[in-house]
């Protein structure tokens, strides 16, 4: 059965018009297209979250790629970052297949849900702090609605910082951020209230082609996520 509150949230995300710069950019990209995709109809709207509503793992990225998610309408779908991510999720048992090319390709996430700090593709992959702040309530609401999530994997420093900001907003509900403030670093792990927060480099083409992030490094992140989920289940 679908989580109707999550369905409603995703509809609100798709209809969001809070950031004129981002909306204009996404629509322009969708109109102009890339030559390789000129016969395709681009999504061109904000991207909702994607995955298992009962997930115990939440993965948070930066923002959709102009010719990836902004084209296909699904997080990390149709670009090199997604190729790297879904292959790792498949190896770890969090996805039923290692490829993601379109919304109707049969991909299913298993005990995992994917969100992002920003929901619109930004110029040069750089959303402004103000634009990220407009998107943060969506992430906060996802944390409310994804009640089984106990592990959060952040892809890149911007995602890491925005998850910390979202969790800090929940402080009035008993979520406390430790001091000193958690610092970003690949495979850094923190315990924040009921969540295990795991940081990872972003699987951008720049990071994967230069070897800053390799498949074994990425696999360790999701192995740790799996271990943390198992430990949480054992303690409940």
Q: What is the mean pLDDT of residues 155-177?
A: 84
Instruction: Round to the nearest angstrom and report the end-to-end CA distance of the chain.
Output: 24
pLDDT at 136 over 50: yes
Q: How many CB atoms lie within 10 A of CB 174?
A: 8
Q: Comparing 194 with 44, which gets the higher pLDDT?
A: 44
Helix ranges restricted to H, the chain? 4-14, 20-32, 69-72, 80-91, 129-145, 157-169, 205-209, 215-235
Per-residue pLDDT band for 180 (boundaries 50, 70, 90) equals confident
Cβ burial 208-218 (10 Å sphere, 16+ → b, else e): beeeebeeebb
pLDDT at 178 over 70: no
CA distances from 161 to 33, 72, 117 (A): 31, 27, 9
User: How many domains does the chain fold into?
Assistant: 1
Q: What is the CATH number of the domain that holds 139?
A: 3.40.470.10
Mean pLDDT of the chain: 94
Helix ranges restricted to H, 15-126? 20-32, 69-72, 80-91
Sort residue 73 into left (φ over 0), alpha (ψ -120 to 50) or beta. Answer: left
Q: What pLDDT sits at residue 175?
A: 61
Give the distance from CA 58 to its chain's centroid. Answer: 8
Q: Are 188 and 199 in contact (CB under 8 A)?
A: yes
Percent with pLDDT over 90 in the chain: 89
Sign of CA dihedral 115, 181, 175, 19: negative
pLDDT at 167 over 70: yes
Q: What pLDDT sits at residue 113?
A: 98
Digit-coded pLDDT (tens) for 212-232 = 999 999 999 999 999 999 998
Per-residue pLDDT band for 1 (boundaries 50, 70, 90) equals very low
Q: What pLDDT sits at residue 174?
A: 55
CA distances from 208 to 13, 85, 94, 187, 205 (A): 30, 11, 21, 16, 5
Number of H helices and E strands in the chain, helices first, is 8, 6
Q: What pLDDT sits at residue 65?
A: 96
Digit-coded pLDDT (tens) for 112-125 = 999 999 999 999 99
Q: What is the mean pLDDT of residues 170-189?
A: 79
Supply the range of the domain harboring residue 73: 4-235
Q: What pLDDT sits at residue 181?
A: 86
Per-residue pLDDT band for 172 (boundaries 50, 70, 90) equals low
Q: What pLDDT sits at residue 234?
A: 86
Digit-coded pLDDT (tens) for 76-128 = 999 999 999 999 999 999 999 999 999 999 999 999 999 999 999 999 999 99
Give the distance from CA 126 to its chain's centroid. Answer: 15
The length of the chain, given as a count of residues: 236
pLDDT at 179 over 80: no
């Amino acid at each position: 059965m679908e989580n109707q509150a999550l369905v409603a949230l995703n509809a609100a995300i798709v209809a969001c018009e809070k950031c004129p710069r981002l909306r204009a950019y996404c629509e322009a990209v969708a109109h102009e297209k890339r030559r390789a995709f000129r016969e395709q109809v681009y999504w061109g709207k904000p991207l909702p979250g994607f995955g298992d509503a009962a997930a115990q793992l939440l993965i948070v990225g930066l923002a959709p790629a102009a010719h990836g998610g902004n084209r296909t309408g699904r997080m990390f779908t149709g670009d090199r970052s997604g190729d790297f991510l879904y292959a790792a999720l498949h190896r770890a048992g969090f996805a039923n297949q290692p490829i993601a090319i379109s919304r109707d390709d049969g991909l299913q996430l298993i005990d995992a849900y994917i969100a992002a700090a920003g929901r619109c593709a930004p110029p040069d992959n750089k959303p402004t702090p103000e634009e990220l702040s407009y998107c943060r309530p969506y992430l906060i609401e996802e944390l409310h609605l994804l009640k089984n999530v106990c592990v959060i994997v952040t892809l890149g420093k911007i995602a890491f910082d925005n998850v910390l900001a979202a969790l800090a907003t929940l402080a009035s509900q008993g979520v406390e951020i430790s001091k000193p403030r958690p610092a970003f670093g690949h495979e850094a792990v923190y315990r924040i209230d009921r969540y295990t927060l795991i940081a990872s480099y972003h699987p951008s083409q720049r990071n994967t082609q230069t070897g800053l992030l390799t498949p074994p490094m990425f696999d360790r992140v999701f192995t740790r996520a799996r271990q943390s989920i198992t430990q949480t289940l054992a303690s409940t």
